[in-house]
Amino acid sequence: MSFEGKCAIVTGGSRGIGRAIVETLAQRGARVIIADRQDELAAATAAEVAAATGQEVSALHVDVADHLSARDLAEKALARLGRLDILVNNAGITRDTLLLRMDEADWDQVVDINLKGAFNCSKAVLRQMMKQRSGRIVNIASVSGIAGQAGQANYSASKAGLIGFTKALAREVGSRGITVNAVAPGFVPTALTVDLPAELKEASLKGIPLGRWGTPQEIAYAVAFLASDEAAYITGHVLSVDGGMVMG
Q: How far apart are CA 194 and CA 201, in angstroms?
A: 10
Q: 3-state DSSP: the chain helix, strand, coil percent, rounded to 5?
A: 50, 15, 35
Q: Contact 213/186 with Cβ under 8 angstroms?
A: yes
What residues does 118 pair with on adjacent strands?
none
The torsion of the CA quartet 172, 177, 178, 181, rounded to 10 degrees, works out to: 90
Q: Is 108 helix (H, G, I), strand (E, B) or coil?
A: helix
Say whether 155 is catalytic: yes
The DSSP 8-state label assigned to residue 134 in this structure reads -
Q: Is 18 helix (H, G, I), strand (E, B) or coil?
A: helix
Q: How far apart are CA 166 and CA 153, in angstroms?
A: 20
Q: Which of 3, 155, 187, 213 is catalytic?
A: 155
Q: Contact 188/219 with Cβ under 8 angstroms?
A: yes
Question: Among all residues, which ones are annotated catalytic?
Answer: 155
